[in-house]
Structure 1
Amino acid sequence: MIEKIISLSLKNRFLVLLTAGGLLAWGVHAVRINKIDAIPDLSENQVIVFTEWMGRSPQIIEDQVTYPLVTNLQGLPQVKYVRGASMFGMSFVYVIFNDNTDVYWARERVLEKLNYASRLLPQGVTPTLGPDGTGVGHVLWYTLDAPGMDLGEQRALQDWYVKFALQNVAGVSEIASFGGFQKQYQVTLNPNKLTYYNLSLQDVIQAVRQNNNEAGGRKFEMSDIGYIIKTSGYLQSVEEIENIPLKTVNTVPVSIRDVATVQTSGETRLGIFDMNGEGEVVGGIVVMRYGENADEVIGHVKTKMAEVAKGFPEGVKFNIVYDRSQLIEESVSSIKKTLVEEMVVVSLVVLIFLFHWRSAVSIIIQIPITLATSFILLNAFGITSNIMSLTGIALAIGVIVDNGIIMAENAYKNLSHRYEELNPDA
């Protein structure tokens, strides 16, 4: 069989060269479009359902949120198993699908099922889907270097300016903010005063909700001019909250300032984000969308960050603390270096031991053609260029070279014997 292939190849040299050239051109194109990442994505094909119900204990979360969701999501098609985790104020349900299931089809099925499962949850509790990313989707971390700006202002800058701008970058699934304080109005009630005025906690909550609203009116025409009437009632300061009336006692209105203390503060935190032991910082995590090219996404994010930085207050700038593109560049640089070293070593070995430059050329040509062809297979099976795949290719170069040297040396030896048989007097 091998002899027939060799004979056929020798008789059709032009066809063999044309095929090799075609594979090389196709392989070069495959290298350009192949997705690059540093870490292979070995995570499971999962959809995360996140539900928040603050102030409730893990046991209540388990009984009233996690258990109903898990039992209803188990009947989805192509589901391997469903995991649930309950903690203080939060519930996580992990729906694990088969590996060959399309992730966006899976998210649609989960969302359809949640439309029914939401009826079984307590009033006001709404489950949401997690980002369409994977466990290795955190491709870039950054912090805000803002001297002179407090943590609350930094978090506001991150949440209301930076986050919205970076989320528009192609391939980005989510910008997860961390650190700092999230500004909120806090109403601290005095239970003795509530009892004195015969008020309840629900009365105060209802009053705040009713007074933090806007309503539309109608169009009013006067002197051939139309006026649109509306009421503006959004709360914008501590004083406005303090002046909200609760009830009337002997023609005297009782407001929130009479039963509570109102102040602006940060939301209660369960942890802090410290940077090198130098203090707290505020920043964000760029989560890459499922199946995207990590190298391209990071490049686009950095370009967008340069545009966003132009709108920062004076002295504020980005500080990148984790950048996977550095590891990606090192991985690609390593395979290029290995390829050049292998070519040089092979050329020297063949030239020294065979003293035949044509044999060296034939072996060296095999390396780029074989490597380019391997990227065609990587794209066909959806495998990215990462540490594991590039290391495998680098190791395979040795096998390719060994095979070429053995075949060249064997052919050279047989040709010499044949030449001696045909020319015994030579």
Structure 2
Amino acid sequence: MIERLISLSLRNRYLVLLLAAGLFAWGAFSVRESKIDAIPDLSEKQVIVFTEWMGRSPQILEDQVTYPLVTNLQGLPKVKSVRGTSMFGMSFVFLIFEDDADIYWARERVLERLNYAQRLLPAGVTPTLGPDGTGVGHVLWYTLKAPGMDLGEQRALQDWYVKFGLQNVPGVSEVASFGGFQKQYQVTVDPTKMTYYGLTLPQVLAAVRSNNNEAGGRKFEQSGVGYIIKTTGYIQDMATLENVPVITRGTTPVRIKDVATVQMTGEARLGIMDLNGEGEAVGGIVVMRYGENADAMITRVKAKMEQIRAGLPPGVSFQLVYDRSGLIQDSVDSIKHTLIEEMVVVSLVVLLFLFHWRSALSILIQIPITIATSCILLNAFDISSNIMSLTGIALAIGVIVDNGIVMTENAYRNLAEYQAGEAAGDPPSATPPPSGTPTATAPGAVSPTPTPVSHG
């Protein structure tokens, strides 16, 4: 089989060269389209179901949220395992799918099952899906450099301006905010006053919720003019919240300020974000989607940051804390230097031992063609060009070069044997002459007698 393949290649040299040129062109295109990352993504296909029920203990969440979800999410197609965990105020369910399952198909199956499991949960508890990212999807961290701006204003700027801008970048799964204070109206009730007025906490909650709303109206015409009536009840300041009536005793309303204290403050925090020991900082984490090109996505995010920068307040700028593009670029540069060094060393070795530039060229031309073909296979199997895959290609170049050197040396050996036999007057023949064919003889030698051939 190998002899036939070699013979076919020798008889069709131009076809082989055309095929090699086609593979190289296809490979060059694949190199440009190949996904580039620094870290190989070895994580499993995972879908996270997150449920928040603040103020409840882990045991309550385990019994009323986590357990019903885990039991109902089992049995989904291509699910390998379902794991659940509960903590104070939060529940997590992790579904691990088989490797050949499409992640978005898996998320659709989970959503279908959640529609049924929703009725088993307590009122007001709604499970949601986590971002469609992986464990190595944190490709970019940034902070806001805003001297003179307090942490609450920085967090509001991050949550209501920067985050929405970066989430529109193709390939971004989520922009997770961290640090600072999330502003909120805080109502601190006085149990003694509530007992005096005969109120309960649900009554206070219902009063705040009902008064922080907008009611629709209707349109009517008067004197040929149309009027639209509506009620705007959204709370705009602390004074409005303090004057919200909870109940009426006779003709006197009992307001929020009569039973509680209202103040503007930040949400309770479990930790802080400190940057290099210089104090607290506010920023975000850009999470990449499944199967995206990390290098291209980071480039798009940085370009979007330049557009967002124009709308930031004076003196506010971005400060990159973690940027994977530097590691990606170093990895690509390393493999480029390795390939160039190997090609130079191989060229010198071949020229030194063979003194023939065509032989060196035939060996060196295998390297770019093989690398280009490898990128075709990487794209076909959806494997990114990362440290592991590029290192494997660099190590395999030694095998590629060895193959070329062995074949070149074998060709030289056969040519040398042929030339030696030709100089001795007895060139080797691939096949013996057919019976009855006259052969040339040296001067003075006796010519062999032809053997008669019988034809039946």
What is the TM-score with the length of structure 1 in the denominator? 0.98
Q: How does 1:21-420 map to 2 (within 5 A)?
A: 21-420=21-420
SS in 2 for 1:263: strand
Residue deviations 1:220-263, cap 9 Å, x none?
A: 11232211110111011111111111223353222111111000
SS in 2 for 1:358: helix
How many percent identity over aligned positions?
75
2-structure distance, mates of 1:64, 1:2: 68
Deviation at 1:413, TM superposition (A): 2.0
2-structure distance, mates of 1:94, 1:184: 32
Residue deviations 1:369-417, cap 9 Å, x none?
A: 0110111111111111011000000101111111111211221122112
AA aligned opposite 2:17: L
SS in 2 for 1:405: helix
What is the TM-score with the length of structure 2 in the denominator? 0.92
AA aligned opposite 2:45: N
1-structure distance, mates of 2:14, 2:292: 40
Residue deviations 1:350-381, cap 9 Å, x none?
A: 00011111100000100000110111111111
SS in 2 for 1:268: coil
* RMSD value, Cα: 1.0
1-structure distance, mates of 2:248, 2:12: 103
Tell me, which stretches of 5 or more residues in structure 1 are unaligned?
none
**Which deviates more, 321-330 or 223-232?**
223-232
2-structure distance, mates of 1:81, 1:257: 52
Tell me, which stretches of 5 or more residues in structure 2 are unaligned?
426-456
SS in 2 for 1:204: helix
AA aligned opposite 1:368: P
1-structure distance, mates of 2:84, 2:100: 23
Q: State how many pairs are aligned.
A: 425
The answer for the alignment partner of 1:424 in structure 2 is: 424
1-structure distance, mates of 2:295, 2:424: 63
